[in-house]
Structure 1
Amino acid sequence: MAICNALIKHGYSNFSLEILEYCEAENCIEREQFYIDLYKPEYNILKFAGSNLGYKHTEETLDKLRNRKVSDEVKALLSAKFKGENNPMFGRVSVNHPMYGKTKPEGSGRSPQRIAVLDVLTNERTEYDSIGAASLALNIKQSRISMYFANNQKKPYKGRYVFQKI
Protein backbone atom coordinates (compact mmCIF):
# COMPACT_ATOMS: atom_id res chain seq x y z
CA MET A 1 0.00 0.00 0.00
CA ALA A 2 2.87 2.39 0.77
CA ILE A 3 4.23 2.23 -2.76
CA CYS A 4 0.76 2.58 -4.24
CA ASN A 5 0.13 5.72 -2.19
CA ALA A 6 3.55 7.09 -3.18
CA LEU A 7 2.84 6.51 -6.88
CA ILE A 8 -0.41 8.44 -6.58
CA LYS A 9 1.18 11.25 -4.54
CA HIS A 10 4.41 11.74 -6.55
CA GLY A 11 3.33 10.44 -9.98
CA TYR A 12 4.46 7.41 -11.94
CA SER A 13 7.14 9.36 -13.81
CA ASN A 14 9.07 9.87 -10.57
CA PHE A 15 9.61 6.14 -10.13
CA SER A 16 11.58 3.60 -12.09
CA LEU A 17 11.85 -0.15 -12.10
CA GLU A 18 15.08 -1.86 -13.02
CA ILE A 19 16.58 -5.32 -12.77
CA LEU A 20 19.63 -5.17 -10.52
CA GLU A 21 21.00 -8.63 -11.26
CA TYR A 22 20.16 -11.83 -13.06
CA CYS A 23 20.76 -14.95 -11.01
CA GLU A 24 19.87 -18.61 -10.70
CA ALA A 25 16.55 -19.35 -8.98
CA GLU A 26 18.23 -21.08 -6.04
CA ASN A 27 20.20 -17.85 -5.31
CA CYS A 28 17.28 -15.39 -5.49
CA ILE A 29 16.61 -15.07 -1.76
CA GLU A 30 20.30 -14.63 -0.96
CA ARG A 31 20.74 -11.96 -3.65
CA GLU A 32 17.53 -10.17 -2.65
CA GLN A 33 18.79 -9.98 0.93
CA PHE A 34 22.09 -8.60 -0.33
CA TYR A 35 20.30 -5.72 -2.10
CA ILE A 36 17.93 -5.08 0.82
CA ASP A 37 20.97 -4.74 3.11
CA LEU A 38 22.88 -2.63 0.57
CA TYR A 39 20.18 -0.13 -0.44
CA LYS A 40 17.82 -0.25 2.55
CA PRO A 41 14.85 0.52 0.25
CA GLU A 42 12.31 2.95 1.69
CA TYR A 43 9.25 1.18 0.27
CA ASN A 44 10.28 -2.35 1.16
CA ILE A 45 8.25 -3.09 4.30
CA LEU A 46 9.95 -6.44 4.95
CA LYS A 47 13.50 -6.52 6.24
CA PHE A 48 14.24 -10.16 5.44
CA ALA A 49 14.06 -11.65 1.95
CA GLY A 50 11.56 -14.49 1.59
CA SER A 51 10.14 -13.94 5.07
CA ASN A 52 7.72 -11.66 6.84
CA LEU A 53 9.70 -12.09 10.06
CA GLY A 54 9.70 -8.87 12.03
CA TYR A 55 6.77 -7.31 10.18
CA LYS A 56 4.12 -5.82 12.44
CA HIS A 57 0.62 -5.07 11.17
CA THR A 58 -0.75 -1.67 12.13
CA GLU A 59 -3.44 -1.59 14.79
CA GLU A 60 -5.90 -0.51 12.09
CA THR A 61 -5.10 -3.58 9.98
CA LEU A 62 -5.31 -5.88 13.00
CA ASP A 63 -8.76 -4.46 13.80
CA LYS A 64 -9.90 -5.09 10.23
CA LEU A 65 -8.64 -8.67 10.39
CA ARG A 66 -10.28 -9.28 13.76
CA ASN A 67 -13.64 -7.83 12.76
CA ARG A 68 -13.96 -9.13 9.22
CA LYS A 69 -17.12 -10.98 8.34
CA VAL A 70 -17.11 -13.70 5.70
CA SER A 71 -20.42 -14.30 3.98
CA ASP A 72 -21.89 -17.77 3.62
CA GLU A 73 -21.47 -17.40 -0.13
CA VAL A 74 -17.72 -16.79 0.17
CA LYS A 75 -17.40 -19.67 2.66
CA ALA A 76 -19.15 -21.99 0.18
CA LEU A 77 -16.87 -20.83 -2.67
CA LEU A 78 -13.73 -21.42 -0.60
CA SER A 79 -15.00 -24.78 0.57
CA ALA A 80 -15.67 -25.87 -3.01
CA LYS A 81 -12.29 -24.58 -4.18
CA PHE A 82 -10.35 -26.70 -1.67
CA LYS A 83 -12.27 -29.96 -1.95
CA GLY A 84 -10.74 -33.20 -3.17
CA GLU A 85 -7.50 -32.93 -5.13
CA ASN A 86 -7.38 -29.14 -4.65
CA ASN A 87 -7.03 -29.56 -0.89
CA PRO A 88 -3.38 -29.02 0.17
CA MET A 89 -3.70 -32.09 2.41
CA PHE A 90 -5.10 -34.30 -0.38
CA GLY A 91 -3.41 -37.68 -0.44
CA ARG A 92 -1.58 -37.14 2.83
CA VAL A 93 -2.14 -39.48 5.71
CA SER A 94 -1.34 -38.85 9.34
CA VAL A 95 1.80 -40.77 10.24
CA ASN A 96 0.56 -41.36 13.78
CA HIS A 97 -2.83 -42.71 12.78
CA PRO A 98 -2.93 -46.40 13.76
CA MET A 99 -5.25 -47.42 10.90
CA TYR A 100 -2.79 -46.37 8.22
CA GLY A 101 0.49 -47.64 9.60
CA LYS A 102 3.81 -46.31 8.41
CA THR A 103 3.37 -43.58 5.79
CA LYS A 104 6.73 -41.79 5.84
CA PRO A 105 9.20 -42.57 3.07
CA GLU A 106 11.97 -44.90 4.23
CA GLY A 107 14.69 -42.99 6.06
CA SER A 108 12.74 -39.77 6.64
CA GLY A 109 12.31 -38.51 10.18
CA ARG A 110 12.21 -40.69 13.25
CA SER A 111 10.53 -44.04 13.12
CA PRO A 112 7.57 -44.55 15.46
CA GLN A 113 8.41 -45.84 18.96
CA ARG A 114 6.67 -49.15 19.67
CA ILE A 115 5.36 -49.28 23.22
CA ALA A 116 3.63 -51.72 25.53
CA VAL A 117 0.94 -50.59 27.94
CA LEU A 118 0.07 -52.49 31.08
CA ASP A 119 -3.35 -51.75 32.54
CA VAL A 120 -2.76 -52.46 36.25
CA LEU A 121 -6.51 -52.60 36.94
CA THR A 122 -7.15 -55.45 34.50
CA ASN A 123 -3.55 -56.75 34.33
CA GLU A 124 -3.88 -56.60 30.52
CA ARG A 125 -0.80 -55.81 28.40
CA THR A 126 -1.29 -54.28 24.96
CA GLU A 127 1.37 -53.42 22.35
CA TYR A 128 1.08 -50.41 20.06
CA ASP A 129 3.07 -49.46 16.94
CA SER A 130 3.56 -45.90 18.17
CA ILE A 131 2.94 -43.52 21.03
CA GLY A 132 0.33 -41.85 18.81
CA ALA A 133 -1.54 -45.13 18.34
CA ALA A 134 -1.55 -45.74 22.09
CA SER A 135 -2.74 -42.20 22.80
CA LEU A 136 -5.68 -42.63 20.41
CA ALA A 137 -6.64 -46.03 21.80
CA LEU A 138 -6.42 -44.92 25.44
CA ASN A 139 -7.75 -41.38 24.89
CA ILE A 140 -4.62 -39.88 26.47
CA LYS A 141 -2.69 -36.95 25.02
CA GLN A 142 0.40 -38.08 23.14
CA SER A 143 2.51 -35.53 25.00
CA ARG A 144 1.55 -37.11 28.34
CA ILE A 145 2.91 -40.49 27.25
CA SER A 146 6.07 -38.86 25.87
CA MET A 147 6.58 -37.00 29.16
CA TYR A 148 6.10 -40.29 31.05
CA PHE A 149 9.15 -41.63 29.18
CA ALA A 150 11.12 -38.36 29.36
CA ASN A 151 10.72 -38.25 33.15
CA ASN A 152 11.54 -41.98 33.54
CA GLN A 153 8.27 -42.56 35.36
CA LYS A 154 7.82 -45.93 37.03
CA LYS A 155 4.51 -45.55 38.82
CA PRO A 156 1.29 -46.03 36.82
CA TYR A 157 0.01 -43.02 34.89
CA LYS A 158 -3.24 -41.86 36.54
CA GLY A 159 -2.87 -44.91 38.80
CA ARG A 160 -3.70 -47.20 35.90
CA TYR A 161 -1.27 -47.41 32.96
CA VAL A 162 2.40 -48.37 32.95
CA PHE A 163 4.13 -47.54 29.66
CA GLN A 164 7.20 -49.38 28.41
CA LYS A 165 9.24 -48.89 25.24
CA ILE A 166 9.68 -52.02 23.16
Structure 2
Amino acid sequence: MNNNIVPIKTYSNAERDKFLLYKENNNKSGIYRWNNLITNKSYIGSAKSIRGKFSIYYSTNSVQRKLAEGNSVINSAILKYGYGNFSIDILEYCDISALIEREQYYIDFLEPEYNILKIAYSLLPSPPQGGYEGDEGAKHTEMTKSSIGLKSLGRKHTEEAKLKMREIAVLRKGGETSFYGKNHSPESLLKMSINRSIQVKVLDTILNEETVFLGNKEAAEFLNVGLSTLVRYKKLNKLIKNRHLVSN
Protein backbone atom coordinates (compact mmCIF):
# COMPACT_ATOMS: atom_id res chain seq x y z
CA MET A 1 0.00 0.00 0.00
CA ASN A 2 1.43 3.36 -1.09
CA ASN A 3 1.20 5.90 1.75
CA ASN A 4 2.92 8.83 0.02
CA ILE A 5 -0.10 11.05 0.50
CA VAL A 6 -1.81 12.78 3.42
CA PRO A 7 -5.58 12.12 3.50
CA ILE A 8 -8.06 14.84 4.40
CA LYS A 9 -9.60 12.53 6.98
CA THR A 10 -8.67 9.12 8.37
CA TYR A 11 -10.90 6.72 10.27
CA SER A 12 -8.49 4.28 11.89
CA ASN A 13 -11.13 1.65 12.69
CA ALA A 14 -13.91 1.32 10.13
CA GLU A 15 -16.18 -0.52 12.56
CA ARG A 16 -15.77 1.88 15.47
CA ASP A 17 -15.82 5.06 13.38
CA LYS A 18 -18.87 4.26 11.26
CA PHE A 19 -21.17 6.98 12.58
CA LEU A 20 -18.38 9.56 12.78
CA LEU A 21 -17.73 8.94 9.09
CA TYR A 22 -21.44 9.40 8.36
CA LYS A 23 -21.55 12.66 10.32
CA GLU A 24 -18.43 14.22 8.83
CA ASN A 25 -19.16 13.24 5.23
CA ASN A 26 -22.86 13.97 4.91
CA ASN A 27 -23.69 15.72 1.62
CA LYS A 28 -20.08 15.48 0.42
CA SER A 29 -18.62 13.94 -2.71
CA GLY A 30 -15.06 12.80 -3.18
CA ILE A 31 -12.43 10.06 -3.32
CA TYR A 32 -12.05 7.44 -0.59
CA ARG A 33 -9.70 4.57 0.22
CA TRP A 34 -10.21 1.33 2.15
CA ASN A 35 -7.01 0.10 3.87
CA ASN A 36 -6.66 -3.50 5.06
CA LEU A 37 -4.70 -3.28 8.32
CA ILE A 38 -3.67 -6.94 8.10
CA THR A 39 -2.57 -7.30 4.48
CA ASN A 40 -1.75 -3.62 3.79
CA LYS A 41 -3.79 -3.80 0.59
CA SER A 42 -6.08 -0.95 -0.39
CA TYR A 43 -9.02 -0.01 -2.60
CA ILE A 44 -9.81 3.41 -4.08
CA GLY A 45 -13.24 4.57 -5.16
CA SER A 46 -15.27 7.71 -5.77
CA ALA A 47 -18.72 8.68 -4.55
CA LYS A 48 -21.22 11.37 -5.40
CA SER A 49 -22.48 10.87 -1.85
CA ILE A 50 -19.81 9.50 0.47
CA ARG A 51 -22.30 8.87 3.25
CA GLY A 52 -24.68 7.14 0.88
CA LYS A 53 -21.92 4.95 -0.58
CA PHE A 54 -20.71 3.84 2.83
CA SER A 55 -24.23 3.11 4.05
CA ILE A 56 -24.14 0.39 1.38
CA TYR A 57 -20.66 -0.78 2.34
CA TYR A 58 -21.74 -1.05 5.97
CA SER A 59 -24.65 -3.33 5.13
CA THR A 60 -23.48 -6.95 5.11
CA ASN A 61 -26.60 -7.84 3.11
CA SER A 62 -25.53 -5.36 0.44
CA VAL A 63 -21.97 -6.67 0.40
CA GLN A 64 -23.17 -10.27 0.09
CA ARG A 65 -25.60 -9.25 -2.63
CA LYS A 66 -22.85 -7.61 -4.68
CA LEU A 67 -20.72 -10.72 -4.34
CA ALA A 68 -23.63 -12.84 -5.55
CA GLU A 69 -23.97 -10.61 -8.62
CA GLY A 70 -20.29 -10.80 -9.54
CA ASN A 71 -16.69 -10.83 -8.34
CA SER A 72 -15.64 -7.95 -6.09
CA VAL A 73 -12.30 -8.13 -4.33
CA ILE A 74 -12.98 -5.32 -1.84
CA ASN A 75 -16.36 -6.69 -0.79
CA SER A 76 -14.88 -10.16 -0.41
CA ALA A 77 -12.10 -8.73 1.77
CA ILE A 78 -14.56 -6.81 3.96
CA LEU A 79 -16.47 -10.01 4.69
CA LYS A 80 -13.30 -12.03 5.25
CA TYR A 81 -11.44 -9.65 7.57
CA GLY A 82 -14.29 -7.64 9.13
CA TYR A 83 -14.76 -3.88 9.35
CA GLY A 84 -12.55 -3.62 12.43
CA ASN A 85 -9.51 -4.66 10.41
CA PHE A 86 -9.89 -1.80 7.94
CA SER A 87 -9.22 1.90 8.11
CA ILE A 88 -10.82 4.42 5.75
CA ASP A 89 -9.23 7.51 4.24
CA ILE A 90 -11.00 10.40 2.59
CA LEU A 91 -8.36 11.39 0.08
CA GLU A 92 -10.10 14.39 -1.40
CA TYR A 93 -13.41 16.21 -1.59
CA CYS A 94 -14.25 17.40 -5.09
CA ASP A 95 -17.10 18.39 -7.37
CA ILE A 96 -19.12 15.57 -8.86
CA SER A 97 -17.97 16.58 -12.34
CA ALA A 98 -14.34 15.91 -11.34
CA LEU A 99 -14.85 12.58 -9.54
CA ILE A 100 -13.72 10.22 -12.28
CA GLU A 101 -10.68 12.29 -13.21
CA ARG A 102 -9.54 12.48 -9.58
CA GLU A 103 -10.27 8.80 -8.95
CA GLN A 104 -8.08 7.91 -11.93
CA TYR A 105 -5.31 10.15 -10.59
CA TYR A 106 -5.22 8.33 -7.25
CA ILE A 107 -5.44 4.88 -8.86
CA ASP A 108 -2.43 5.73 -11.02
CA PHE A 109 -0.45 7.31 -8.19
CA LEU A 110 -1.22 4.95 -5.29
CA GLU A 111 -1.65 1.68 -7.24
CA PRO A 112 -4.26 0.12 -4.91
CA GLU A 113 -4.08 -3.68 -4.89
CA TYR A 114 -7.84 -4.29 -4.59
CA ASN A 115 -8.58 -2.27 -7.74
CA ILE A 116 -8.30 -5.06 -10.29
CA LEU A 117 -9.27 -2.67 -13.06
CA LYS A 118 -6.81 0.21 -13.22
CA ILE A 119 -9.22 2.47 -15.06
CA ALA A 120 -11.88 4.49 -13.23
CA TYR A 121 -15.22 2.82 -13.98
CA SER A 122 -16.92 5.62 -15.88
CA LEU A 123 -13.96 5.89 -18.30
CA LEU A 124 -14.59 2.34 -19.49
CA PRO A 125 -16.77 1.36 -22.45
CA SER A 126 -20.14 -0.22 -21.80
CA PRO A 127 -19.66 -3.03 -19.26
CA PRO A 128 -20.24 -6.70 -20.01
CA GLN A 129 -23.17 -8.56 -18.49
CA GLY A 130 -22.55 -8.78 -14.76
CA GLY A 131 -20.51 -5.55 -14.77
CA TYR A 132 -16.86 -4.90 -14.17
CA GLU A 133 -14.93 -5.99 -11.08
CA GLY A 134 -14.48 -3.07 -8.76
CA ASP A 135 -17.67 -1.32 -9.82
CA GLU A 136 -19.24 -0.43 -6.48
CA GLY A 137 -22.68 1.08 -7.00
CA ALA A 138 -22.86 1.34 -10.78
CA LYS A 139 -26.13 1.92 -12.59
CA HIS A 140 -27.94 -0.97 -14.29
CA THR A 141 -26.51 -1.84 -17.69
CA GLU A 142 -28.89 -1.47 -20.60
CA MET A 143 -28.93 -5.26 -20.95
CA THR A 144 -29.97 -5.66 -17.32
CA LYS A 145 -32.60 -2.95 -17.63
CA SER A 146 -34.09 -4.66 -20.65
CA SER A 147 -34.19 -8.08 -19.02
CA ILE A 148 -35.75 -6.86 -15.77
CA GLY A 149 -38.27 -4.53 -17.38
CA LEU A 150 -39.14 -2.75 -14.14
CA LYS A 151 -41.30 0.34 -13.95
CA SER A 152 -38.70 1.72 -11.58
CA LEU A 153 -35.71 1.60 -13.92
CA GLY A 154 -33.71 4.78 -13.59
CA ARG A 155 -34.17 4.64 -9.83
CA LYS A 156 -31.67 3.15 -7.44
CA HIS A 157 -32.89 0.39 -5.14
CA THR A 158 -30.81 -0.22 -2.05
CA GLU A 159 -29.23 -3.65 -2.05
CA GLU A 160 -30.97 -4.54 1.22
CA ALA A 161 -34.30 -3.62 -0.32
CA LYS A 162 -33.69 -5.80 -3.38
CA LEU A 163 -32.69 -8.74 -1.21
CA LYS A 164 -35.75 -8.37 1.00
CA MET A 165 -37.97 -8.01 -2.05
CA ARG A 166 -36.83 -11.35 -3.40
CA GLU A 167 -37.36 -12.99 -0.02
CA ILE A 168 -40.88 -11.58 0.18
CA ALA A 169 -41.71 -12.91 -3.28
CA VAL A 170 -40.63 -16.41 -2.30
CA LEU A 171 -42.12 -16.48 1.19
CA ARG A 172 -45.56 -15.07 0.47
CA LYS A 173 -48.36 -17.47 1.40
CA GLY A 174 -52.12 -17.53 1.13
CA GLY A 175 -54.39 -17.35 -1.86
CA GLU A 176 -51.57 -17.01 -4.36
CA THR A 177 -51.37 -20.71 -5.16
CA SER A 178 -50.77 -20.00 -8.82
CA PHE A 179 -47.39 -18.61 -7.82
CA TYR A 180 -46.17 -21.96 -6.53
CA GLY A 181 -45.07 -24.89 -8.64
CA LYS A 182 -43.67 -22.54 -11.27
CA ASN A 183 -40.09 -21.66 -12.04
CA HIS A 184 -39.60 -17.91 -11.80
CA SER A 185 -36.43 -16.17 -12.88
CA PRO A 186 -34.74 -13.88 -10.36
CA GLU A 187 -35.82 -10.94 -12.50
CA SER A 188 -39.46 -12.08 -12.36
CA LEU A 189 -39.30 -12.56 -8.60
CA LEU A 190 -37.85 -9.10 -8.19
CA LYS A 191 -40.47 -7.52 -10.41
CA MET A 192 -43.36 -9.25 -8.61
CA SER A 193 -42.03 -8.43 -5.17
CA ILE A 194 -41.45 -4.77 -6.04
CA ASN A 195 -45.03 -4.51 -7.27
CA ARG A 196 -46.29 -5.91 -3.93
CA SER A 197 -43.93 -4.15 -1.53
CA ILE A 198 -44.30 -0.79 0.16
CA GLN A 199 -41.61 1.36 -1.38
CA VAL A 200 -40.37 4.68 -0.07
CA LYS A 201 -38.66 6.98 -2.56
CA VAL A 202 -36.08 9.55 -1.49
CA LEU A 203 -35.26 12.23 -4.07
CA ASP A 204 -32.00 14.11 -3.62
CA THR A 205 -33.02 17.46 -5.10
CA ILE A 206 -29.40 18.60 -5.43
CA LEU A 207 -28.01 15.55 -7.23
CA ASN A 208 -31.39 14.81 -8.89
CA GLU A 209 -31.12 11.15 -7.88
CA GLU A 210 -33.92 8.99 -6.54
CA THR A 211 -33.21 6.07 -4.21
CA VAL A 212 -35.89 3.50 -3.42
CA PHE A 213 -36.09 1.90 0.03
CA LEU A 214 -38.21 -0.92 1.39
CA GLY A 215 -40.12 0.90 4.11
CA ASN A 216 -39.96 4.10 6.14
CA LYS A 217 -37.47 2.74 8.67
CA GLU A 218 -34.77 2.04 6.10
CA ALA A 219 -35.25 5.46 4.50
CA ALA A 220 -35.11 7.19 7.91
CA GLU A 221 -31.85 5.42 8.76
CA PHE A 222 -30.35 6.49 5.45
CA LEU A 223 -31.31 10.13 6.05
CA ASN A 224 -30.26 9.96 9.71
CA VAL A 225 -33.62 11.22 10.99
CA GLY A 226 -36.25 9.79 13.30
CA LEU A 227 -39.04 7.66 11.88
CA SER A 228 -41.73 10.12 13.02
CA THR A 229 -39.84 12.99 11.39
CA LEU A 230 -39.66 11.17 8.07
CA VAL A 231 -43.36 10.30 8.13
CA ARG A 232 -44.32 13.88 9.00
CA TYR A 233 -42.23 15.44 6.25
CA LYS A 234 -43.49 12.89 3.75
CA LYS A 235 -47.10 13.71 4.65
CA LEU A 236 -46.45 17.45 4.36
CA ASN A 237 -44.47 16.98 1.12
CA LYS A 238 -41.63 19.07 2.57
CA LEU A 239 -37.88 18.74 2.07
CA ILE A 240 -35.91 17.02 4.82
CA LYS A 241 -32.78 19.05 5.65
CA ASN A 242 -33.69 21.33 2.73
CA ARG A 243 -32.57 18.63 0.32
CA HIS A 244 -34.46 15.31 0.33
CA LEU A 245 -38.07 14.80 -0.73
CA VAL A 246 -39.74 11.60 0.50
CA SER A 247 -42.72 9.93 -1.15
CA ASN A 248 -44.35 6.54 -1.78
TM class by shorter chain equals 0.3 to 0.5
**Which has the larger share of strand?**
2
Using CA pairs under 8 Å that are at least 6 residues apart, name the structure with larger relative contact order, 1 or 2. 2
Normalising by structure 2, report the TM-score: 0.23
Higher alpha-carbon Rg: 1
